[in-house]
Amino acid sequence: MAKIVDVIARQVWDSRGRATVEAEVSVKGARGRAIAPAGASTGSGEAKSIDVRQAVHGVNTEIRKTLVGKKLEQGPLDQLLIDLDGTPDKSRLGGNAIVAVSLACAHAAAAAAKQPLWQFLAGKRALAMPVPQIQIFGGGAHAQGRMDVQDFMVVCIGAGSFTESLQWTAQVYQAAGARLAKRNALYGVADEGGWWPAFKTNEEALAELTGAISDAGFEPGADVAIALDIAATQLWRGGRYHLALENRTLSADQLHTMLLGWIERYPIVSIEDPFAEHHAEAMASFTRTAGNRVQVVGDDFFVTSEKKLLEGKAKGACNAVLLKPNQVGTLTETLACWQAAQAAGYGAIVSARSGETEDVSIVHLAVGWGVPQLKVGSFARSERMAKWNEGIRIEEALGGNKLPYPARKIFNWRKA
CA-atom Rg of the chain in angstroms: 21
169: partner contacted, choices ligand PGA, Zn ion, none (Cβ within 5-8 A by kind): none
Shortest Cβ distance from residue 257 to ligand PGA (Å)? 23
Site string for ligand PGA, 48-67 (x = CB under 6 A): --------------------
Q: Judged by CB under 6 A, does residue 354 bind ligand PGA?
A: yes
CA separation for the pair 125, 95 (Å, rounded)? 30
Query: What are the CA-CA distances from residue 219 to residues 163, 165, 211, 213, 319 (Å)?
Result: 19, 14, 10, 7, 26
Applying CB under 6 A, which part among 69-77, 88-96, 99-107, 351-359 lies near ligand PGA?
Answer: 351-359
Q: Is 46 in the site for Zn ion (CB under 5 A)?
A: no
- Shortest spacing between CB 373 and ligand PGA, in angstroms: 12
40 contact, one of ligand PGA, Zn ion, none, CB 5-8 Å limit per kind: ligand PGA
In which order are the strands placed within the sheet that holds 30-35? Answer: 4-13, 19-27, 30-35
- Closest to ligand PGA by CB, 37 vs 116, is 37
The answer to whether 304 contacts ligand PGA (rule: CB under 6 A) is no
Q: According to CB under 5 A, which one of 299, 306, 359, 390 is a site residue for Zn ion?
A: 299
How many CA atoms, within 13 angstroms, populate the side-chain half-sphere of residue 306?
A: 14
Q: How far is residue 279 CA from its own chain's centroid?
A: 21
* One of 14, 78, 192, 229 touching Zn ion (CB under 5 A): 229
Residues labelled catalytic: 192, 324
Question: Considering CB under 5 A, how many residues would be counted as binding Zn ion?
Answer: 3
Contacting residues for 168 by C-beta, under 8 A, at least 6 apart? 154, 156, 159, 216, 218, 223, 224
Backbone angles phi, psi at 323, to 5 degrees: -115, 110
- Alpha carbon distance 407, 223 (integer Å): 10
State how far the Cα of 6 lies from the Cα of 30, in Å rounded to an integer: 11
Minimum Å distance from CB 56 to Zn ion? 28
Q: Quote the CA–CA distance of 304 and 349 in Å, as a whole number.
A: 11
Question: Binding partner of residue 351 among ligand PGA, Zn ion, none, CB under 5 to 8 Å per kind?
Answer: ligand PGA
Rounded to a whole number, what is the largest CA-CA distance in the chain? 62
Q: Does 351 bind ligand PGA (CB under 6 A)?
A: yes
Determine which helix (DSSP H) or strand (DSSP E) holds 409, and give its type and residue range.
helix 407-411
Report d(CA 7, CA 322) in Å as an integer.
29
List the single partner that 353 binds among Zn ion, ligand PGA, none, CB under 5 to 8 Å by kind.
ligand PGA
Only segment of 65-73, 124-132, 297-305, 361-369 that touches Zn ion (CB under 5 A): 297-305
Cβ distance to Zn ion smaller for residue 223 or 229: 229
Per CB under 5 A, contacts with Zn ion among 230-289 are: 272
384 binds ligand PGA (CB under 6 A): no
- Report, in Å, the least distance between residue 299 CB and ligand PGA: 5
Helix axes 306-315, 280-290, angle to 10 degrees: 60
Choices 40-48, 99-107, 248-256, 392-400 (CB under 6 A): range interacting with ligand PGA: 40-48
Which residue, judged by CB position, is nearest to ligand PGA in the bound state? Answer: 39
| Helix spans in 86-201 (H) | 95-112, 117-122, 162-182
Q: Which residues bind ligand PGA (CB under 6 A)?
A: 39-42, 141, 150, 229, 231, 299, 351, 353-354
Q: Which residues bind Zn ion (CB under 5 A)?
A: 229, 272, 299
